[in-house]
Structure 1
Amino acid sequence: MKVVAFERQAQGTGASRRMRRAGKVPGIVYGGEQKAQMIELDHNALYHALKKEQFHSSILDLTVGEQQTRVLLKNYQVHPFKPLVLHVDFMRVAADRKITMKVPLHFVNAEESPAVKLEGGMISHVLSELEINCLPGDLPEFIEVDLSGMHKGHSLHANDLKLPGSVTVVTHGSENPVIATVLSQAAEESAEAAAEPAAEPAAKEAEKK
């Protein structure tokens, strides 16, 4: 994805407020051997880009003036209740240096699995994203998780995933985290039943009001 930004000269809280009133978002680009660079971006373009999944998990081509740099979105701040982006951080990437990123998991073929199709089970997604380490050129926008082989009583772990190129999973102490697991219909109904009594007092209280 391409991102267009402009070099920012003015700094400080007052300058940032004026920038936001003008429909701009202050930001910074850092990393590598170059100095950190202050930038500003069009608010509406950035706001809509942040709604796209790939903007958060892809290498971005950032253009500032005539200079183009490959970066990752590292952080951004939004207003607590207004649809406003307050600040954004990008990190430069080098082709020969590994990066660590969280990428989304896309689950497919659950309906085709024996667990769902034949055994009356339900597949629970334990994780929705996975932290990985890889070279920038191998960074996937998402990791596809094929559930077609799931059976009753079966769990899918990180080591079961087919990862491209130099991609490895960052586990943070858990050697082989569970990605998805099969629940029986009875277990699902039991969980729903356990939640109902807790909801009843609140509903009755609302009726009194």
Structure 2
Amino acid sequence: MKTPETIEFATAVRTPGRKTASELRLQKSVPAVLYGPGIENNVHFAVSEIQLEKVLASKDAKFIQLNLDGGKHAKAIVRTVEYDPITDRPVHVDFYALSDKVKLTITVPIRLTGTSVGVTEGGRLYQPLRELTIRCTPGKIPAEFMVDITKLKIGATLKVNSLKTEDIDVITPGERTIVVIRPPKGGIGGLGEDEEGEEGEEGAEEGAAEGSETSSKEGDSESTEN
């Protein structure tokens, strides 16, 4: 699995305060704060709104290298973003500092790989789950979680607890269904009540996934200190 790309962010020193934050937004800058392992006091600064939105639009997990005042640097991830309820522009962003030895919780997109036997035979692919929450050290974080569906036949269901992970703790419940290969329309149903019930709960997502063999979903990165 590929590792997350590292993006450099230039920063501008700022003094916390409502007036200063408003002025920054007029300049297309977003107030930000950095905290986490190794950060004794929260660091306040501002980043480019355009650059931030490019990172937020990406479907893969990203590492951020913050170039801070005084020639200091910090490697981090975007933890939370606050948006304006009217304009939907980012108005504040929290960065969480990374430490090589400290585990964190993060959500990464799931990408399906391969062409399943069932789809080749006319089955229909549904993907109720498009992201996975994991806990590991920064060096083990994948940009996306690859799931091979080549061997899935019509009626087959792949759940989270069937994934093979190394040095990664999966936080997403093991009974969650990642992908289902349903029979062709008009064919004989081959799913049990468990799979059909879960699909119903995720109906909005499944409809968007029909007919697609590879997919991924953007999600907000979330982490907690060990």
Pairwise CA RMSD: 2.1
Q: Based on CA coordinates, which of the two structures has the bigger radius of gyration?
A: 1
Structure having the higher helix fraction is: 1
Displacement over 3 Å in runs of 4+: none
Which residue, 25, 29, 40 being the options, matches 2:46? 40
Q: TM-score, normalised by structure 2?
A: 0.73
How far off is 1:78 after superposition?
Answer: 2.3
Deviates more, 1:121-130 or 1:174-183: 174-183
Give, in whole Å, the separation in 1 of the partners of 2:16 and 2:107.
Answer: 31
Deviates more, 1:128-137 or 1:71-80: 71-80
- The reply to whether residue 115 of structure 1 matches residue 118 of structure 2 is yes
What residue number does 1:23 align with?
Answer: 28
**Does the CA contact (< 8 Å) of 2:160 and 2:177 recur in 1?**
yes
How far off is 1:59 after superposition?
Answer: 2.7
Give, in whole Å, the separation in 2 of the partners of 1:186 and 1:48.
Answer: 40
How far off is 1:151 after superposition?
Answer: 0.8
Give, in whole Å, the separation in 1 of the partners of 2:147 and 2:138.
Answer: 21
How far off is 1:29 after superposition?
Answer: 0.2
SS at match of 1:46: helix
**Does the CA contact (< 8 Å) of 2:124 and 2:181 recur in 1?**
yes
Q: TM-score, normalised by structure 1?
A: 0.79
- The reply to whether residue 100 of structure 1 matches residue 105 of structure 2 is yes
**Does the CA contact (< 8 Å) of 1:59 and 1:136 recur in 2?**
no
Give, in whole Å, the separation in 1 of the partners of 2:14 and 2:144.
Answer: 36
What residue number does 1:167 align with?
Answer: 168
Q: Residues 147, 175 of structure 1: CA spacing in aligned structure 2 closer, same or farther, 3 A cutoff?
A: closer
Q: How many residues align?
A: 181
How far off is 1:122 after superposition?
Answer: 0.7
Give, in whole Å, the separation in 2 of the partners of 1:170 and 1:49.
Answer: 24
Deviates more, 1:4-13 or 1:72-81: 4-13
How far off is 1:7 after superposition?
Answer: 4.6
Higher relative contact order (CA 8 A, sep 6+): 2
SS at match of 1:49: helix
Letter paired with 2:48 = D
